[in-house]
Amino acid sequence: MWQGGSNVVTIPDAPWGQEYIRLSSLEIEKTKCGWENHTPKKDKSIDGNNITIGGKVYESGVGTHGPSQIIIKLNGSVTDFYTVLGVDDEVKEAGNFDYHVYVKAEGGATEDVAKGTINRFSNQSVDIHADNLSGWKYLYLETSNGTDGTNTCDHVDWANAYLVFQDQNSTRPCIVSAEELTTKLACATTVFSQPNVRFMQKVRSTVTGAQLSVSNLPAGLTWNADRNIVEGVVAEEGVYTYQINVTVDGETTSEDVTLTVSSSLQHPVPFMGWLSWNSVQGNISQKIIEQAVELFQNKGLYECGWNHIMMDDLWQGTRKADGTPQPNASRFPNGLKTVADYVHKNGMKFGLYTDAADRTCAGAFGSYGYEGIDAKTYAEWGVDVVKCDYCYAPDDVETAKKRYKALADAFAAAGNNTMLYICEWGVREPWKWGAEVGGRCWRISQDVRDCWTGSGSGVGVVQSIEAMKNLSAYQGVNRFNDSDMLCTGLHATGKSSNDLCGGTGAGMTDDEYATQFALWCMWSSPMALSFDPSKNTLTDADFKLLRNKELIALNQDRMGQQGDLISETDNLVVFAKDCENGDVALSVTNMSSSEKQATFDFSAIPALDPTKTYTVRDVMENTEAGEATGTFTTDVRKHATRVFRLAEKKVVDGVASTFSEKDFTFVSGKNCVKINMPETAGLAKRILVSDFEGRVVSGLTTTADKAKVALAKGTYLVTVVCNAQARTVKVQI
């Protein structure tokens, strides 16, 4: 530690690009102190004296009394923590305590930083350095009674304590109380489904070993105790309430779940489209929007589901005297209604960007205080989606909830069904409250960079996996975890996407781009491409990836499930994703720098039965990969991902079914579609008809081998689910 004067220890000056945040500058009132009627002291001992350990005086720190606990929420941009921990010199004849410093992840995993015992008369202090904190959610600083078994004179000093912070439009660390983290549920409680579409809710607890159950389920849903999931199909639209029950040490608590079943959900499947920031930034214009639309139409991307065109920051001009927002006049000479009309005319959705503060990250005007007039204006323009950032807004979560809810309420009042896309970078855990305030998707990390491994606070593919891997219980239809923009097609030609990458900054390999894309599909994350449509940067490999309808089908699966992390051993990361028709998708990502062989163990994958046989489809290559029972093995190149879709091989009356989805035929008639399904008589089938936004407009169940669905004029996707297989086609009425 650096010293000032002969015996005064001070915090060193931070190097360029970093800030040293004193622990004493945070809300230490939220910490636990073991001395009744006393509170921790900022930059003083618990008795109010200068912090002094072994004759050295420390300029800053926190003085408390054991047993004590300080919980620091790191918020994504803290890399290190330093302190000298000791018994204050004001204690003359006692002072003995155990200490434990550790970190905790979103899913509850922990890792020790330091632990031991401090004694006033032997080892009075210890230097503690916690590094590599970027991937952790919380830092715990705890002390308990030491070997003397009492807390007598346990005057605990966290001397010269500071956090190393790298600001990347990020929220500063904060102290949270233990009470704020006591919820027994680690899953969504506001959930959604479409009628006649298979629904799944993963139920998880924060308490290891807790017994879970549910009660008062609506008709069509059941509790799968083996997997701790609610699943089934609800036919009738409506709002339903049921309870999740958590039993710990014989005591049961219950929490309500609200399930909305509707055919008019704002975000039934994650959006797929283009967002301007990574490559265009302040050059966004009417011309570039038109070029993006034309590229999607002319290169076959629209046909594969790419149908959202969205502007990020710096589209803004100034506000009129009455507060009405205006676009930049030189880059949007005809106004934004003309731009939105052009996008809509081509069958796509139009989006733009704002901030929940008075200004945006890049310094343009934000929407705080102007929610009503902005929502009304956006509705008049025909804006379908608004991405709302959180730069220059207060750090606390309650303010974030209020500001985002104000904007969502204003959108609802404006009457255009504009969707709110929350972008506060995951630091306030929006997956726990975003749906409740009216958001339909939310960012879970800082901005993604065009690289495999980000540097510092930069987010590469490696950091995206770390941020996303424990959030699957918070996702579902109409509530999606967003991993940020895709880098497919950038090839290091972006702007901010090239920062914080380390290495050469040359972008990624084809296998690395494919891994990012495949994982976004396995996670059902919204997908926004971010290349410059005015430049020819897309390669044949890029187009092959972006037109891979089997991968896209996983992303757009109507059950909206995020793949569960199954394992991450030997540098192989495995996810498993439940599909609406009963299939299970498996992915394995090779994080190492050499080729590896990976084996999927069905007994370790809750969605699979190791005694059953499955047909295997290679989703990356669009080829059949045989059958598998119990295990399945594949080779994986370095930084590559393999994805397989498994369908249970059905047996009917002791004979393997000859049913083949290739035999389905769909015939468009006048105001209807006729479906022929030979060799399926007697088998239960669900038929779903949806628009290009994933909204189900008609659904029925039948055991016949023919069906007829009445439809108005338009273009639809018709899906038949039968015998754990699905067939989807586009029809024009």
Longest Cα–Cα distance of the chain, Å, equals: 94
Alpha-carbon gap, residue 648 to 643, rounded angstroms: 17
Q: In this predicted model, what pLDDT tens digit does every residue of 335-346 receive, in sequence order?
A: 999 999 999 999
Q: Which two tokens stand for residue 472?
A: 């699957």
Q: In this predicted model, what pLDDT tens digit does every residue of 674-721 receive, in sequence order?
A: 998 887 888 888 888 888 788 888 888 888 989 999 988 888 888 887
Strand, coil or helix: 400: helix
Which residues of the chain, if any, have pLDDT below 50? 1-4, 654-659, 661
Considering only CA atoms, which of 634, 576, 641, 631 is closest in space to residue 601? Answer: 631
Q: Which amino acid is at 304?
A: C
> Range(s) for CATH 2.60.40.1180 in the chain?
564-649
Q: In this predicted model, what pLDDT tens digit does every residue of 222-246 receive, in sequence order?
A: 999 999 999 999 999 999 999 999 9
Alpha-carbon gap, residue 630 to 45, rounded angstroms: 61
Q: For residue 515, what pLDDT is reported?
A: 98
Q: For residue 725, what pLDDT is reported?
A: 66
Q: Which two tokens stand for residue 100?
A: 């434990």
Q: For residue 146, what pLDDT is reported?
A: 74
DSSP bridge pairs for 64: 156
φ/ψ of residue 249, rounded to 5? 50, 40
> Range(s) for CATH 2.60.40.10 in the chain?
190-261, 660-732
Domain 564-649 has CATH 3.90.105.10: no
For 127-132, the CB contacts below 8 A with 24+ separation are 127/1, 127/82, 127/83, 127/84, 128/81, 128/82, 128/83, 128/84, 128/85, 128/101, 129/80, 129/81, 129/82, 130/80, 130/81, 130/82, 130/101, 130/103, 131/79, 131/80, 132/79
Q: For residue 379, what pLDDT is reported?
A: 98
> Range(s) for CATH 2.60.120.1060 in the chain?
3-181
Q: Which fold has domain 660-732?
A: Immunoglobulin-like (2.60.40)
Q: For residue 455, what pLDDT is reported?
A: 87
Q: For residue 694, what pLDDT is reported?
A: 85
Task: Give the pTM.
Answer: 0.80
> Range(s) for CATH 3.20.20.70 in the chain?
272-555
Homologous superfamily of domain range 3-181? NPCBM/NEW2 domain (2.60.120.1060)
Strand, coil or helix: 74: coil
Considering only CA atoms, which of 177, 159, 151 is closest in space to residue 66? Answer: 151
Q: For residue 195, what pLDDT is reported?
A: 95
Homologous superfamily of domain range 190-261? Immunoglobulins (2.60.40.10)
Q: For residue 463, what pLDDT is reported?
A: 95
Q: Specify the CATH number for 272-555; select among 3.90.850.10, 3.40.50.300, 3.20.20.70, 3.40.50.1000.
A: 3.20.20.70
Q: How far is CA 138 from CA 75, 121, 173, 411, 584, in A?
A: 8, 32, 9, 35, 33
Strand, coil or helix: 173: coil
